[in-house]
Amino acid sequence: MASPASELLVHQAAIHTNAAHFAALTGGRLLAVVKADAFGHGHAEAARAVLDAGAGWLGVASVEEALALRAAGIRAPVLSWLNPLDADLGAAIAAEVDLAVASPALLGAVSRAAILQRRRARVHLHLDLGMARDGCPRGGWSALCELAHELERQDAVRVVGIMGHLSCADVVGHPQTRLERQRFVNAVLAARRRRLRPAVVHLAATAATVTGEGAGFGLHRIGAGLFGIDPSGTSAALRPALSLTTRVAGARELEPGGGVGYGLEHRAERRTNLALLPLGYADGLPRSAAGRAEVLVRGRRCPLVGRFSMDMVVVDTGGEQVRPGEPVTVFGPGDDGEPTVADWAGWAGTIPHEIVTRIGSRVARVARTTGSTAAARAVGSTGAARAAGSTAVRTAGG
Ligand SMILES: *Cc1c(COP(=O)(O)O)cnc(C)c1O
């Protein structure tokens, strides 16, 4: 197979280091969040790295994501927290996947699926602390706890955990965080009064963990931080884990006054050189970053010019006449002067999470197991790595 023009290198060592940092910071109470294909980093490879680094649990949104981890041979405890009533709850229960539950209707569906499986479903009751999003509204908490207790007595479910999620933890010292913490404490007490005995309670995600404002509970659900993203902007300890590289697809000169791309929105002020990159918004380069974004060419930052197209963008290399096939770094950890994911998020007016989760399926994902000279091994959502050891296998998709 010809080597693809664009690659997303996943630095497994960075994920491992970040996970070890959070395992230490949380005293080993780390639930590693690997939803959305581990924030675009490859769910199975990332899961193995974080488990090796000390995570005791994994967390995902949907049952499908949880079952994909099981299909990859991962046996660690997995929690899935966002499912519709008609999700494949039976398959989840059979695969020993914990299910978060935020409504009596879903709790009923989980218990029926458990009875059919002749097993007890392991559930985590999920309370909305203020976001008006995915937890149980506070007014319904008592009824949810009561139903859970009743279903425990019927041996259909076991309430393993209680969870909440903070709305404003990325803003250090936000008064809402203290309010929501208190709501959570009260909800756990209310559940205990209903004779529920959860083994784990969990509130904090990355932001509240690095600021310390989510301390004092059981598990910490860490997603972004594993991948070098700190929503609170207070931790210097985290390493970015992705590099996006491509190769020049074509090069040409541009006369003064010449336009570039759709609408000819960009015009050259002086004679310059252009290079075509075979990556566009379908591959995850946000169109809103046009006019600000830069890439690294021959060790130098060069601006992308003109509107972004679906499949391509154009870089102004100034006095440098680059050749087709030359490597270009779109983003990376920043060690060699290349832009970072955080830079791209700033240029696009978004958060780093959105940049890393939107890299398109045409870009080959390559897991780098150690330093830059190490053997690379492909990762894919389908678990399609076809070789191990020192052979580099690249798969599109994931
Ligand atoms: C995504 C998610 C997390 C992880 O949050 P980060 O800020 O990425 O650490 C934790 N809990 C829930 C419920 C989530 O949806």
Which DSSP string do the residues of 165-211 spell out, in sequence order?
--SSTTSTT-HHHHHHHHHHHHHHHHHHHTT---SEEE---HHHHHH
Please report the pLDDT score of residue 236 as a whole number: 82
Cα 174 to Cα 299: distance, rounded to the nearest angstrom: 41
> How confident is the prediction for the chain on average, in pLDDT?
93
Residue 61 DSSP symbol: S
Rg of the chain (C-alpha set): 24
Please report the pLDDT score of residue 377 as a whole number: 42
Cα 302 to Cα 160: distance, rounded to the nearest angstrom: 53
Task: Dig out the tokens for 336 from the structure.
Answer: 């060699």
382 vs 320 pLDDT, higher one: 320
Q: Is the CB of 308 under 6 A from ligand 1?
A: no
**What's the whole-model pTM score?**
0.92
Q: Is the CB of 214 under 6 A from ligand 1?
A: no
* Ligand 1: nearest atom to the Cα of 81: 13
Instruction: Assess whether 262 carries a catalytic annotation.
Output: yes
pLDDT band at 394 (very low <50, low <70, confident <90, very high): very low
pLDDT band at 2 (very low <50, low <70, confident <90, very high): low
Closest by CA position to 98, among listed 6, 185, 31, 18: 31
pLDDT digits (tens, 9 = 90+) for 157-185: 999 999 999 999 999 999 999 999 999 99
pLDDT band at 395 (very low <50, low <70, confident <90, very high): very low
Q: Is the CB of 41 under 6 A from ligand 1?
A: no
Question: If you measure from the C-alpha of residue 131 to the centroid of ligand 1, how many angstroms do you get, rounded to a whole number?
Answer: 13
Q: Active-site residue among 28, 75, 105, 262?
A: 262
| Third-level CATH fold of 12-227 | TIM Barrel (3.20.20)
Measuring from atom 15 of ligand 1, which residue has the nearest CA?
61
- In this structure, what is the dihedral angle of CA atoms 292, 298, 300, 306, given to the nearest 10 degrees? -20
Please report the pLDDT score of residue 235 as a whole number: 83
SS3 85: coil
Question: Where are the domains positioned within the chain?
Answer: 12-227, 242-359
Which amino acid does the sequence have at 79?
L
Instruction: Assess whether 281 carries a catalytic annotation.
Output: no
Cα 48 to Cα 260: distance, rounded to the nearest angstrom: 45
| Contact status, residue 234 vs residue 172, Cβ threshold 8 Å | yes
* CATH superfamily of the domain spanning 242-359: Lyase, Ornithine Decarboxylase; Chain A, domain 1 (2.40.37.10)
Cα 307 to Cα 330: distance, rounded to the nearest angstrom: 16
Question: If you measure from the C-alpha of residue 146 to the centroid of ligand 1, how many angstroms do you get, rounded to a whole number?
Answer: 27
- Helix (H) / strand (E) containing 39: helix 35-40
pLDDT above 70 covers what percent of the chain? 92
Please report the pLDDT score of residue 398 as a whole number: 33
The two beta strands, 364-368 and 30-33, are unpaired
Task: Dig out the tokens for 221 from the structure.
Answer: 């659900």
